[in-house]
A and B are shown apart, each in its own frame.
Chain A
């Protein structure tokens, strides 16, 4: 589902990722780990084509990103749900509209959008907050809105960048349960985290990065 072959990414004089190769199979749930600045976020950005690799090939959900035209990027992104580290919620829109946006850009009808959004908000226990604005929500609630927005359109791949970074252990556990449910429905997942507790003893694939270099791929 996701394949990196000898991928290198440089930022001016600094190498962010060097000669990275790995494969994540369809329906798999994997983790990328490493200290801050090890290249986790850059790796995710390469997957949803917010960055272009300087060398190497990337393939995502059947799309060869080398051959991808700028006009096709939106259609690639419609296959990928992203839980951004900085949330990227629209402050002037309520929870419902934030989640619905992912469907509106796909041109879905309003009736269908209402059904899907409320269903998704219910699955992350936020149905009662649909009229609230992001500012009035706690960090954990905002995180769940972002997860709801990422999963509402049933993407093939779901990426999460430090999804539990700002959460207390209970909320973090609840978020991870949600991810496992999403994965159980067949969605391929890649979670970037430096929190070992999330993958320890799970037997899931863990991609370890250090200073932009792949130092190991193996079960957690």
Chain B
């Protein structure tokens, strides 16, 4: 496809001449991309917020009584060899009681009448970030449960499942919204270019009779589609940034949690670029389907 300087001039003339149709398309595309960017903003922040949780996640392995230091060391060694394990800490029953007493120092009556320490020795296992998924953890606990000397394993099964369902829910809903809106934007560009084409049928017919190639006729429409899409992308970028700024400055005083919201810098490039690409895609489909 040859894009001569004159193709850009023809596109600019048409953008000016048909400014109301074009403006309407730009605003429609901007609205669509705004919804997408809000969805991306939510997904980005959910991801950032939940991203630090795996570091705090730990498995507690309770050991059988009187296991002996040698067997405990062997168990620690075996656990450290596992790929998903980042760190293993041995917590003797006395230390566990000390920690418990520190935690419940305002409720000392709980320990009254206790002659001996009922807590078992335990191991605290921290996992590598990529291993903290419900399936991975379930497999690991199964393996550890079969090891000699292990009495019981405790981990936040419900918390972990909830965390993952939130993440996958955000991802599924986000992807569905993005897919529908992307198709909508392509359709808007497709329809706009088709209308522009039909409004210039007479001119195009004259171009053809003068010897214009299909590429010469198509190029201005593809440029126009790209410009409309990119303009929509830029307006959506400005809108989403204003929205972010308002939420950050005005609403965070009411809901303090909102002060932690992050704005992904990638959006500065992503929105105009995706607008451009979607606009070009719609225009290419439109001029490809037209008979002339």
Contact = CB atoms under 8 A, between A and B. Distances in A.
B214 A71 contact: yes
B207 interface: yes
Contact of B209 (A71, A75, A82, A104): A82
Contacts of A68: none
A104 to B, nearest CB: 5
A105 B211 contact: yes
B95 interface: no
Nearest to B207: A105
Contacts of B212: 74, 105
B289 to A, nearest CB: 16
Contacts of B214: 71, 74
Interface in A97-111: 101-102, 104-107, 110
Interface stretch (A58-66, A84-92, A118-126, A201-209): A84-92
B4 A107 contact: yes
A74 B211 contact: yes
B206 A88 contact: yes
A77 interface: yes
Interface in B1-59: 2, 4-6, 17
Nearest to B9: A104
B98 interface: no
Contacts of B244: none
Nearest to B208: A74
Contacts of A74: 208, 211-214
A48 B206 CA distance: 13
B216 interface: yes
Nearest to B17: A92
Contacts of A77: 208-211
Given A90-B203, A90-B206, A78 B211 contact: yes
B203 to A, nearest CB: 6
Contact of A101 (B5, B205, B210): B210
Interface string B202-234: 010111111111101000000000000000000
Interface residues of A, number: 21
Contacts of B203: 90
Interface string A183-212: 000000000000000000000000000000
A102 B212 CA distance: 8
Contacts of A88: 205-206, 209
Nearest to B6: A104
Contacts of A50: 209
Nearest to A106: B211
Contacts of B216: 105
A105 B214 CA distance: 11
B212 to A, nearest CB: 4
Contacts of B209: 48, 50, 77, 82, 84, 88
B159 to A, nearest CB: 65
Nearest to A72: B213
A218 B56 CA distance: 102
Contacts of A75: 211
Contacts of B211: 74-78, 102, 105-106
Interface in B38-97: none
A17 B80 CA distance: 94
Contacts of A48: 209
B2 A107 contact: yes
Contacts of B5: 110
A78 to B, nearest CB: 4
Nearest 6 pairs of A and B residues by beta carbon: A77-B211, A78-B211, A105-B212, A74-B213, A74-B211, A88-B206
Interface of A: 48, 50, 71, 74-78, 82, 84, 88, 90, 92, 101-102, 104-107, 110, 149
Interface of B: 2, 4-6, 17, 203, 205-214, 216
Given A74-B211, A104-B4, A105-B216, 11 more contacts: A48-B209, A50-B209, A71-B213, A74-B213, A76-B211, A77-B208, A82-B209, A102-B210, A105-B211, A106-B211, A110-B5
